[in-house]
Structure 1
Amino acid sequence: MTRVFSGMQPTGGLHLGNHLGALVNWVRMQDTADVTYCVVDLHAITMGHDPAILADRTLGLAMEFVAAGVDPDRSTLFVQSHLGDVHAEMTWLFSSVTGVGELQKMPQYREKSERVTGKHAQVTAGLLTYPVLQTSDILLYDADEVPVGEDQRHHIEIARDIGGRFNHRYGDVFVLPRAIFPEAAARVMDLQDPTAKMSASADSDKGRINLQDDPDRILKKVRSAQTDSGRDVAYDRADKAGISNLLEVMSAATGRSIDDLVEEYADAGYGTFKGAVAEAVVELLRPMQERHAELAADPGEMQRILADGAAKAREVSAPRLAAAKDAMGFLPA
């Protein structure tokens, strides 16, 4: 089977855009591929972090994966730092075939280093070598495919470059992955600014629907979503971005086509339509929230799932690290 690897940072709770843009496809791919999903907590410390909440966010993100349908029996789910020895050592080996210049050219490095401010702020080596660690994440699991958004294309390209350079110098140790761009269930935009993607980094929480938002909060956010001055429900991304965004969300939540929704709600008015959208989102999230509550009530079960996942991940990654060390000529222990 095709091997797939993907991961997310524990930088906060997931929102509807994460679910419809990524998690829906993660769940589907369990039926057709050998999938490995990782909470990449080592990546979460390159820009500074709060030690008091990192562990909770890591566990919380893993819970949201499982609640959304990631099945530990049909996938490998683990926390990156639980195999930190393997990932960190492989990163050091890959660093020996990676040029500083190519890392400095990475768009994410340039963008994030410009945002580093404050009295004790500094651009860290970890931020610079982030793509090398990401290369280890992917290549240690023989990934054939890595589902990403367009903004992550460069990271897969550099992973292929680093892996290819290693193979050229030391022999064919690693599979070189290809980026895939699965079609999202919906392109979810910010409710307050429908020209921008829904994002956890937005200044206001009002524009995003978090997966753990309760029904009243979801209704309030959808009712206050930005729309135009008209009242007809029509799909027009250029002139009716707000209503078009809500139509896409409702279509993804209900499985109905946008044309069907427009036909039903064309003359209903924005208030009625927004109420229907909120109800559809509440029903979409209800089973995930119920499963999340079950997991939160039994932390030991989630710890067991992650321990089993780490053991499965080690069975794949440790031999790959050993093969790389052997190819480089290290003395066996």
Structure 2
Amino acid sequence: MMAFIPRVFSGIKPSGDLHLGNYLGAIRRFVPLQQTHETIYCVVDMHAITVWQEPEDLRRWTYEIAAAYIASGLDPKKSIIFNQSQVVEHAELGWIFNCVARVGWMMRMTQFKDKAGGEGGENSEAVSLGLFAYPSLMAADILLYKATGVPVGDDQKQHLELTRDIAKKFNHDFRKQIKGLGFDEDYFPLTDTLVTGPATRVMSLKDGKKKMSKSDASDMSTIYMMDDADTISKKIKRATTDPESLPTEAAGLEGRAEAANLVAIYASLADQSVDQVLAEFGGSGWGKFKPALADLAVSVLSPIAGEMRRLVGDRAEMDKILRDGADRARAIAIPHMDEIRQIVGFVR
């Protein structure tokens, strides 16, 4: 396989207020990659409208996610930060991939099954076509930039596998045309998943078997990035636990979903391993651990929330950052898309 530039792409959908799961599962992992890769971080607003969004909410959430990127340590001069709809090549390549991907591949996507009413898809005729086809657009988001790695949570691994399948089929189907353009081997890379460390999937504070979500019926189950210090502390101290003390090693968390979740959150916020956390707190009860976790969460999240509020309040600055990012993204996307049009056979 030809050598591709080490390039990372990832994005977050502006479909609700950001929460701790978005931060630990994605944004916090984005920052160190600035030092080792070319990094492109998108607010995927085109994905958001696969289900209904109030337009003003969509705008607000788009700004909030971009602000969270920057407040968490992404440097707009090092990383390309933009919103997806400003780069129309995403949609064009998404359509081409709709014609490369197979319906059977899409039918296997578990997230679609969940949103369309489970395995039987009882609600499948009522959801948007975009919801069914959006994994093709996700593949386009990644492959438009020939990204070699994507930092994704566990729930997105299946979509990244689909991205690899689409890349393989495109490379195979258009082998002659790709070589005709002077490429010795594949046009698209087979993108790798970058998932490391604890808390790759943050669970509900009320039910350790459910993913933390803004749609949860209980507001106490989710820590939002804009929560104030008192609210963060209250939610952690009221989190569901069990009567046992913390174990001294990670194996002791087996079968203890709520305990494992809180320890993983602490480990991720403290940049420690689970074993390091248990070396400090093993044998302790929740009366000691929960206040320590609350203090840690407040110390990490409060400065980010404050900077997010400042940035969101300055839309002129945010618009400038997003426009600059879109210009830099297009500088990569346009020549790639021109080659893809030639490969497919479009008259230019």
> TM-score, normalising length from structure 1?
0.88
Identity across matched positions, percent: 38
Q: Which moved more, 1:205-214 or 1:181-190?
A: 181-190
> Could you say what secondary structure the match of 1:234 adopts?
coil
TM-aligned CA distance change 1:326 to 1:261, over 3 Å: closer
Q: Which residue of 2 aligns with 1:160?
A: 164
Check conservation: 1:148, 1:179, Cα contact below 8 A.
no
- The partner residue of 2:36 within 32, 45, 60 is 32
Letter in 1 for 2:109: M
Check conservation: 2:232, 2:294, Cα contact below 8 A.
yes
Check conservation: 1:146, 1:177, Cα contact below 8 A.
no
Q: Deviations over 1:240-294 (max 9, x none)?
A: 5434433332333334565565565567653343222111110011221232122
Query: Aligned-residue CA RMSD in angstroms?
Result: 2.5
Q: Deviations over 1:163-185 (max 9, x none)?
A: 33223333337322323242134
- The partner residue of 2:317 within 301, 307, 320 is 301
Q: Which residue of 1 aligns with 2:206?
A: 192
- The partner residue of 1:132 within 136, 141, 150 is 136
- The partner residue of 1:250 within 256, 266, 269 is 266
Check conservation: 2:106, 2:132, Cα contact below 8 A.
yes
Matches within 5 A, 1:35-114: 35-83=39-87, 85-114=88-117
Q: Deviations over 1:147-174 (max 9, x none)?
A: 2233322322222222332233333373
Check conservation: 1:2, 1:144, Cα contact below 8 A.
yes
Q: Deviations over 1:223-245 (max 9, x none)?
A: 11112235x44353246543443
Letter in 2 for 1:198: M
TM-aligned CA distance change 1:228 to 1:92, over 3 Å: closer
Check conservation: 2:247, 2:253, Cα contact below 8 A.
no
TM-aligned CA distance change 1:273 to 1:157, over 3 Å: closer
Report the Cα distance in structure 2 between the residues aligned to 1:77 and 1:229, rounded to whole angstroms.
45
Check conservation: 1:144, 1:176, Cα contact below 8 A.
yes
Check conservation: 1:234, 1:244, Cα contact below 8 A.
no
The count of residues paired between Structure 1 and Structure 2 equals 328
Shift of 1:321: 1.1
TM-aligned CA distance change 1:313 to 1:264, over 3 Å: closer
Q: Which moved more, 1:174-183 or 1:241-250?
A: 241-250
TM-aligned CA distance change 1:136 to 1:279, over 3 Å: same
Report the Cα distance in structure 2 between the residues aligned to 1:261 and 1:147, rounded to whole angstroms.
24
Structure 1: gaps spanning 5 or more residues: none
Letter in 1 for 2:111: Q
> TM-score, normalising length from structure 2?
0.85
Check conservation: 1:37, 1:76, Cα contact below 8 A.
yes
Letter in 1 for 2:160: I
Shift of 1:12: 1.5
TM-aligned CA distance change 1:160 to 1:260, over 3 Å: closer
Shift of 1:109: 2.4
Q: Which moved more, 1:17-26 or 1:56-65?
A: 17-26
